[in-house]
Structure formats: structure tokens, C-alpha cells
Amino acid sequence: MASSEPGVPVQAAPAPIGEDYSGVWLSRYEFYSSSRDGTFTGLHHVILTQHGNRITGQSLPGASSNPDSPLSFDLTTDRNIVTGTWVEQTAQDGYYQGARYHGAIQLLVDPTGRRMSGKWVGFGKEFDVNTGPWELRLLDKSTAVEIIAKYSTSPAE
């Protein structure tokens, strides 16, 4: 990236001091299915837990638009950039018959800290590498039992 001043590099904007991304988030990603010749959306309610610059995430029980397809994240945050890996184990009785998909993800956190958006990359069924948009939207900063119970349902767009 270039700056308007010669020789001055542009740096990522710092996240608000003490920002903690722990909470319940709505995860939304899009993927192209070559076997169905269409683009589809995956939705999950996920809980993110942050310790220092490390964030782990996991979908809540019963909280996927494709039932019984748990999603997990292993992420690192550097200012307003979140980078890491994702894994989704598809439902045994679903279209992808229990296939395990995984890949990398990079997201930019908006200035409010309530939305992350970026791209995922991962392999496809036909030995290709796929990519698509991914967004996380904060639903609740609390991870209390009653909040987790509230979001342990299939998300709606």
C-alpha cells in the first residue's frame, strides 16, 4: 500500500485499546457448489473467546443453518486484522454427507468492533481452491449461560 507522502508506508488502523472480541456472533459465509451449480450461504451462531491476541470460536449446539454441521475457528488478532483457520464438519445426513472442510480466513474489524468481514479460502470437491466472503456480526458481548441458550437455535438472515 502507498501513502500520499513518498516513502511513508500506510499501516493498519489500531483496534481500540483493550478490545476483546469475546461474545456471541452471527457467522455468515458464501460458497459456490459446483455439483449444484449455485452459490449458497452458511449461517452459524458462534461463541468467540479471546485470550490475549488469540481467539477461539465454536458454533453453538443446534445453531447452524445446516443442522449438525459444527464450525470452529482458531484465530489471531493484530490490531484490526483477524487471521486464522476454520473447520466445518458437515452433517452426516446432509448434502455433503459428513465431509470435513477447512481452510484459512482473514477478516478486517470495523471501527466499532461489532463486525468483521473478509474472505475465506479452502479446497473444493474437485481438487480446486475456492474462496468467498465471510462476515461475523456481534450479537451479544455476554457469554452467560442464558445468552448461549438464547442463541442455540438455527440462525435466520
pLDDT in tens, 102-149: 999 999 999 999 999 999 999 887 788 999 999 999 999 999 999 999
Q: Residue 61 belongs to a domain with what CATH number?
A: 2.40.128
For residue 6, what pLDDT is reported? 56
Average pLDDT value for the chain: 87
Look up the pTM and report it: 0.84
Is 6 within the bounds of a domain? no
Distance, in Å, from the CA atom of 26 to the CA atom of 28, rounded to the nearest integer, reads 6
For residue 84, what pLDDT is reported? 98
Task: Indicate the range of 13-17, 53-57, 64-68, 146-150 predicted with least confidence.
Answer: 13-17
Q: Indicate the number of domains in the chain.
A: 1
Is 40 within the bounds of a domain? yes
Higher-confidence position of 114 and 95: 114
What region, left, alpha or beta, does residue 42 occupy, with left being phi > 0 and alpha being psi -120 to 50 degrees? Answer: beta
The CA-based diameter of the chain, rounded to the nearest angstrom, is 58
Is 17 within the bounds of a domain? no
Distance, in Å, from the CA atom of 74 to the CA atom of 87, rounded to the nearest integer, reads 9
Distance, in Å, from the CA atom of 81 to the CA atom of 152, rounded to the nearest integer, reads 28
For residue 3, what pLDDT is reported? 46
For residue 135, what pLDDT is reported? 98
Is 1 within the bounds of a domain? no
Is 94 within the bounds of a domain? yes
3-state SS, residue 82: strand
Measured in whole angstroms, the distance separating CA 126 from the mean position of its chain's CA atoms is: 24
For residue 133, the enclosing domain spans 23-150
